[in-house]
Amino acid sequence: MDQRPHYNAAHRKARSLTMDIKQLRYVVQIVDSGSVSKAAELLRVAQPSLSLQLRTVEEELGVKLLVRHARGVSPTEDGKVFVEHARKVLREMDQIREVLSSTSSNPTGRVTVGLPTSACRGLSLPLTRAVAAAYPGIKLHIVEAMTGSLDEWIESGKLDIALLYNHKAYENVAWTEMMVEDLMVIAAADSEYARLDQVQFASLADMPLVLPGLPNTLRHVLERIATRLDMEIGVTIDCDSLQSIIELVKAGYVTVFPSFGMSHMISSGEFRAIPLVNPTPNWRLSVVLSKRTANTHCSQAIVQLLAETIRSMVEEKRWRANLDF
């Protein structure tokens, strides 16, 4: 049975919705704070005034948004729906302000960039420094994830930009192909495999491998080659965590990875990157821009800067790859 209070229906129909952005922010802050008094303090609004604003919104909508309890307040089911949509509206309003205040010569706003796990550690600092120097008005939000997740998020518009390996040609994205990067065998320096000058691809069948699981792009590259050679890769552990892969390699396992993704461990002498041959697996790296980005000026500026940063790192031999595009 519906326990929600029923405000006068005729009154509700007679009135048009008049709530404003301020009221949306107030309700969202109350829910986030879990308390009207805490929200009032954060918003620097008198508590009675905040309670009145909440009551006004509830009466206008004809539903109860919050319930009070000993620990404060919680959203009702209607309240959860309201807050979810209110957050979207507030984000859109913030984006409108950013777009209108941004110009091509002085872009201002927030840009979300997705970086694959294999590149994030080595690229985050150079990219952040480049953005701070060239575009101080842009706030960068870096998201690290496996390539499969980044593919989905750039297509859906959750990301403005992504750095992708062997990306999919979605309708709502534009891309710039940057380079080709070889995959290598990564082993601990004290491992028996670290003594090898190169590793035959067929030898992967007999190695204690730890690799990202399907549908990871790196795994797809290796599995396609294995199928072509009519062999199976001897994967001992499927692991989608880079930090866990590093710990497992330290313990004696080996992995196949671009050397850039392990550059800190290799430069310290803890790991060794060994060429993988006959054939040498590789993948193409592209900078991908979502056509659904809310701030075109900012996103295009970051796309260009990201491409320049990558190109400089390859030319300076800090990133082992071939600039073929």
pLDDT, tens only, 158-181:
899 999 998 766 666 788 889 999
On whether both 87 and 32 belong to a single domain, the answer is: yes
Nearest to 216 by CA among 240, 196, 180, 200: 240
Mean pLDDT of the 6-22 span:
56
Q: How far apart are CA 164 and CA 277, in angstroms?
A: 24
On whether both 84 and 51 belong to a single domain, the answer is: yes
Q: Which domain holds residue 95?
A: 9-100
Beta strands 199-200 and 271-277: pairing type? parallel
> The CATH number of the domain where 54 resides is what?
1.10.10.10
> The CATH number of the domain where 203 resides is what?
3.40.190.290
Mean of all residue pLDDT scores within the chain: 88
* Strand ranges for the chain from DSSP E: 66-69, 72-75, 109-116, 138-145, 161-165, 173-182, 184-188, 199-200, 209-211, 235-238, 255-257, 271-277, 282-290
What is the SS3 assignment for 47?
helix
On whether both 176 and 96 belong to a single domain, the answer is: no
Considering Cα of 258, then 260, then 264, then 267, what sign does the dihedral take?
Answer: positive
Q: Kindly state whether residue 112 falls inside one of the protein's structural domains.
A: yes
105-130 tens-digit pLDDT: 678 888 999 999 989 999 999 999 99
Q: Kindly state whether residue 320 falls inside one of the protein's structural domains.
A: no
286-322 tens-digit pLDDT: 999 998 887 888 899 999 999 999 999 999 999 999 9
DSSP assignment, residue 215?
T
Residues in the chain: 325
